[in-house]
Amino acid sequence: MNDTLKNIDTSLLDVPLTEDKLRAAEVAHPPRILMLYGSLRERSYSRLTTEEAARLLTAMGAEVKIFNPSGLPLPDDAPETHPKVAELRELVLWSEGMVWCSPERHGAMTGIMKAQIDWIPLTSGAVRPSQGKTLAVMQVSGGSQSFNAVNQMRILGRWMRMITIPNQSSVAKAWAEFDEDGRMKPSPYYDRIVDVMEELMKFTLLTRGRSDYLTDRYSERKESAAQLSERVNQRSI
């Protein structure tokens, strides 16, 4: 063992790091993007913003699915077999990237938004449903521009081991940014959403087919090796 690295198991270290290891596996289908929004109002501006972003992503070549949170129970108030919970989790597994869009309420994301995120498990058997997926965050506000909700969602995205893109969108006075048909008017806010969706697509295309390798960790390889050794060497019961 290299004396300069005496505190780690060098046999588990991913060396050397090369471009060949980062070569993506071929993926034939369009980028799969799941979109979540955080309001159930009849005229929900987070939903309208999400739908506008979905149109952009579709035009850019993505396959998009929007989850309707109506009927989703509070976390821990229903079994995991609840139809809405099962639907959400299946969509998460299907997706390669996500968009989260929440109103800001009382200086934070809404409970509806947080409930959806809380129903996404960090682990499901040997699968980490959110790890390595790309994420874009957006928010809408009834008043002046704020970034409280997007900042909170960034923290959650990092906690869930998602690749959260640098750009984001915050639409101030959202009630003034949509016409009677629910379509967003031309504005710098709309242009920013275009920017965010373009960036999400680029990061998704760059990372899919290689996200498992990008999120592979020494500490987890070490833990897995120890568990394997314990299982293999345990005495017969």
Quickly state the pLDDT bin for 229 (edges 50, 70, 90).
low
- CB atoms under 10 Å from CB of 49, counted, come to 28
pLDDT at 1: 47
Residues comprising the chain, all counted: 237
pTM reported for the whole predicted model: 0.89
Quickly state the pLDDT bin for 233 (edges 50, 70, 90).
low
130-176 pLDDT tens trace: 999 999 999 999 998 999 999 999 999 999 999 999 999 999 999 99
CA distances from 163 to 73, 84, 118, 157, 215 (A): 27, 25, 18, 7, 9
pLDDT at 236: 43
